[in-house]
Amino acid sequence: VAGRACPEGASLNGSLPRTVAAVANQGVLTFDLAVPCEVFGYDRSDIVRPWYRFFVVAADPPPLRTNTGFTMDTPYRIEDLERADTIVIPGWSDTETPPSPELISALQSAYERGARLVSICIGTFVLAATGLLDGRTVTTHWRHADQLQQRFPKLKVDPRVLYVEDGRLFTSAGTAAGIDLCLHLVRLDYGYEIANTVARRIVMPPHREGSQAQYIEQPVTPEALGGGVKAACDWALRHLSVDITVKQLAREAAMSPRTFARRFREVMGLTPHDWLLRQRIRLVQRYLESTDDPVELIAEKAGFGSAATLRHHFQERLEVSPLAYRRTFRASRGPGDPRAGRGPAHL
């Protein structure tokens, strides 16, 4: 794990707007480019002022033809990157097309003057070409992780995470993980509550971890789980409200505790107890969002021994108290919001 340094630029001083630029090349992946457009480029000044300034830079002479066949134009060029303090490289056209020398040096000098560099999906290949990622922990789309590691041996490629924050360098896995990463940046800039509100606006589950977490584990698909581990997880999810020990889980998985702990780590990327806690907190979030139950009752229903224990973990992981979480979640449920009313919160 790369340095445990505090997130840099964790909060916005005064009211200077952050300026975010996304870079598109010929053949850019439509969805990946749309991610920063949606998160940063959409005017959200009704949530907080000032919102970001955002523009799209053409790395090739426009018009640019996207990978889905339509063309687009933008007045901004590589030299405009010097005005950005966050630069996003969304899914580049492909892993074979190297960035131009101008783009490389623009990225290098942006980094030197303190800008944050962000990549989505195979955009990591572009950042890697600048040399700035050498020795850093990074990620990319799982299908290209091996290729990235081979081409840039100095990187520490971790294909198991949704995104990685390493100093001012941010990389994310396949397409949709880019949304998580962009929301993470919003959280660094504006705090958890604002990021949460944005997540709700774009109908993303707001269950992400606190800002000190450098790694966000990828949600594993049940199919990817080893047999016994999956059985234990299923069992645990059905019994979340009662006390569960790792020893019991091991029994459900038909393994010794030691082997179970090892298998679990390999498959899930975190320890059994940590996973359990996460599931419980997610359940608590759902209750807070969709009921008026007191925290004591929720603690009981989610398998926490006491409300104090629940508050402790909730605050630590989400950096908000349970009641504050409920308040912001409900206060921002306004007219026009697709989740108005009292629908069940999704997992």
Partner DNA sequence: CGAAACATCCGCCACT
Partner DNA sequence: GTAGTGGCGGATGTTT
- Site residues for DNA per CB under 7 A: 245-247, 255-259, 261-263, 265, 271-274, 277, 304-306, 308-309, 312-313
Closer by beta carbon to DNA, 159 or else 272: 272
H-type alpha helices, the chain = 30-36, 101-112, 123-129, 145-151, 175-190, 192-201, 227-238, 246-252, 257-268, 272-290, 295-301, 307-318, 322-331
In the complex, minimum distance from the CB of residue 156 to DNA, in angstroms, rounded to a whole number: 17
Strands of the sheet with 215-217, listed across from one edge: 76-77, 53-58, 19-24, 86-89, 116-119, 169-172, 161-166, 215-217
Of 100 and 309, nearer to DNA (C-beta) is 309
CB of 243 vs DNA, minimal distance in Å = 7
DSSP run (H or E) holding 170 = strand 169-172
CB of 173 to DNA, least distance (A): 22
Distance in Å, CB of 259 to DNA, minimum: 3
Least distance (Å) from DNA to the CB of residue 274?
Answer: 5
Query: Nearest Cα to 185, choosing from 199, 174, 175?
Result: 199
Alpha-carbon span 45 to 157, nearest angstrom: 36
Q: Which is nearer to DNA, 177 or 295 (CB)?
A: 295
User: Strand, helix or coil at 230?
Assistant: helix
